[in-house]
Chain A
Amino acid sequence: MNAYLITIGTLIVIYAITVYGLNVIVGYAGQISLGHAAFFGIGAYSAALLSTKAGLSFWQALPIVIVLSGLIGMLLGLPSLRLKEDFLAITTIGINFIVEALFLYIPFFGGALGIGGIPRVALFGIKLKGLAFFLLCLSFLAIVMVICWWFTRSWSGVACFALREDESAAASMGISPVRFKLLAFVIGTMMAGLGGALYAHYMRFISATDFSFPMSITFLSMIVLGGMGTLWGPLLGAVLLGILPELFRPLVDYRILFYTTLLLVMIRFQPGGLLGEGSLLRKWLVLKPAGVRV
């Protein structure tokens, strides 16, 4: 396979892992987050720092990175998730800007220069690059998708669905709104942390602008396009939005314009996304709605 395709493929898979995390928060629990790139960044920076400054290997650092991302997610989620809808959206945007600013202005995080010299991931003493690293990312994606699939089939998943549909009705059935929103948020930010760690070790150089607000919009566009709350939608969204800028190079400069237009068009005509319930694509594929088979 040619190197160009593998590069695009690897980035798409890394984004997909991150976007599955966002899908748990937005698609399953119905809590809007416009700051997901912040947690992607927290994963990337902690992985970068642990490998360059503390000298840990990717595998030693990974559990720490994931737990740290989840922990920070919990700390930031606790006050934010008490807010609803627009207010939550604005708060999460704020989180994104603050986290980006911290990366940019604190010398420990490398400031405007970012962090370079991040080592490649090694497995059994072999440095993974090209196809091997792509396959590593793909296996992580598979794990993430299995976790998502399991989540939707479990009681914790259905508690989140109930919250998404109606918070007070869910509470009248013993579901603690704070607890389950937080659970979804922590799972989502952990997945973003994993994506970030892979990103750092793949790019081998990261800077604060990689994790800015437009990246959050891109992530959100991916799940809206693919189908919020579905199992395959986030992957489809990541693939489509990952490939499009490559096919139409001039689009790169107008990315945000394109994404926002796409969001508006999708919400107007296919609010459930390409793979959402009752969508044209799903009807065409004659698939049964995901997760409602008994």
Chain B
Amino acid sequence: MTEILLQTRDLSKHFGGLKAVDQVNLEINTGEILGLLGPNGAGKTVCFNLISGVYRPTRGEIQFRGRRIDGLPSHLVARRGIGRTFQIVKPFASLTVLENVLVARGITRYGRFGRLWSPWKARSEVTAGMAMLERVGLADLAHRKAGLLPLGNLRRLEIARALVVGHQLILLDESFSGLRHEEIARLEDLIRRIREEGITVLLIEHNMRVTMELCDRIVVLDHGRKIAQGEPRAIQENEQVIEAYLGRGGGRHAA
């Protein structure tokens, strides 16, 4: 049984004459890991930023759980239950790892003036925050300053924050880039576990091997347009995809 969690129709973002994203239709089913693939400049991150409210679409609409979210600013999209990470990590550097997660736990309060004045380090919050760190494997670093963490751990920290916000859907923007082999393997495990817990994942990835192993379905973008979608195996053999990545005639050498 597949149920559509998030859907874009005709989604477009133009920067002047540049069509960064052009008439893209996406469907993310509940409980799947959907990969967004494409060469540099294909419009993947712009797509993310449209969904998460950083940009306002030029045209088209986005529906999340049946309600339109296009045009909403980031903080309101987040409050609907979509968590995200950033391609260039953005930790709250002078706060500790635990505090970073606690910031995300305030999501139910930031919209209500009356709920802003109680202590943010209440015992119940700290316990819940520690449980989340446990889940992503950062519990032993809870009291370390986030700014001092190596990249791999920062990526986990961002995923932890995104999980607090996005109890339904998380968007991972190149969470694997710049990581060592063993870190990649551990992160893959984490993402699989997240999916098993019932959370839908949309990820952008450059690493082909990771994408093919991890994703249930893949959507390929090139020059802002969707050129293919389907299961990993089908994508691997898709002529247009090979052409986008390797150029015309490249497929022969790749095969």
What is A's interface to B at a CB cutoff of 8 Å?
Answer: 150, 153-159, 161-162, 165-166, 168-177, 180, 277, 292, 294
Contacts and interface: CB of A to CB of B under 8 A. Distances in A.
From B78, B98, B116, name the one whose CB has the most chain A CB atoms within 10 angstroms. B116
B156 interface: no
A130 to B, nearest CB: 37
A175 B116 contact: no
A136 B104 CA distance: 41
Contacts of A174: 75-76, 78-79, 106-108, 110-111, 165
Given A165-B95, A173-B161, A156 B103 contact: no
B118 A155 contact: yes
Contacts of B121: 153, 294
Contacts of B102: 158
B70 interface: no
Interface of B: 52-54, 73-76, 78-79, 83-84, 86, 90-96, 98-99, 102-104, 106-111, 115-121, 126, 143, 161-162, 164-165
Contact of B94 (A155, A157, A165): A165
Nearest to B171: A172
B74 A172 contact: yes
Contacts of A159: 103, 106, 110, 116
A153 B108 CA distance: 17
A166 B92 contact: yes
A172 B93 contact: no
A6 to B, nearest CB: 36
Contact of B86 (A165, A168, A180): A168
Contacts of A173: 75, 78, 103-104, 106-107, 110, 161, 164-165
A176 B72 CA distance: 12
B116 A155 contact: yes
A164 B40 CA distance: 31
A158 B106 contact: yes
Contacts of B98: 294
Candidate in A166, A174, A294 with the most chain B CB atoms within 10 angstroms: A174
Contacts of B90: 166, 168-169
B96 A168 contact: no
B120 A172 contact: no
Contacts of A165: 91-95
A11 to B, nearest CB: 32
Contacts of A169: 86, 90-92, 161
Nearest to B84: A172
A277 B90 CA distance: 21
Nearest to A174: B107
Contacts of A153: 119-121
A150 B117 CA distance: 8
Given A159-B106, A162-B103, A172-B52, A294 B143 contact: yes
Contact of B110 (A161, A166, A176, A294): A176
B78 A155 contact: no
Contacts of A162: 92, 95, 103
Contacts of A292: 95-96, 99
A161 B121 CA distance: 14
B34 to A, nearest CB: 19
A157 B54 CA distance: 24
16 contacts: A150-B117, A155-B109, A159-B106, A161-B103, A162-B92, A166-B93, A168-B86, A169-B90, A169-B92, A171-B54, A171-B75, A172-B84, A173-B106, A173-B110, A175-B103, A294-B121
A248 to B, nearest CB: 35
A175 B75 contact: yes
Contact of A155 (B76, B79, B96, B115): B115
B86 A155 contact: no
A166 B107 CA distance: 16
A16 B36 CA distance: 54
Contacts of A170: 92, 103
A158 B122 CA distance: 13
B74 A161 contact: no
A192 to B, nearest CB: 22
Contacts of B115: 155
10 A-B pairs closest in CB distance: A165-B92, A174-B107, A169-B90, A171-B74, A156-B116, A174-B78, A166-B90, A158-B120, A173-B104, A162-B103
A161 B95 contact: yes
A106 to B, nearest CB: 35
Query: Which of B74, B104, B107, B108 neighbours the largest number of chain A CB atoms within 10 Å of its CB?
Result: B74
B92 A172 contact: no
B110 A154 contact: no
B187 to A, nearest CB: 19
A23 to B, nearest CB: 16
Given A150-B117, A154-B120, A294-B96, 9 more contacts: A158-B120, A159-B116, A169-B91, A173-B165, A174-B79, A174-B110, A175-B103, A175-B106, A294-B98
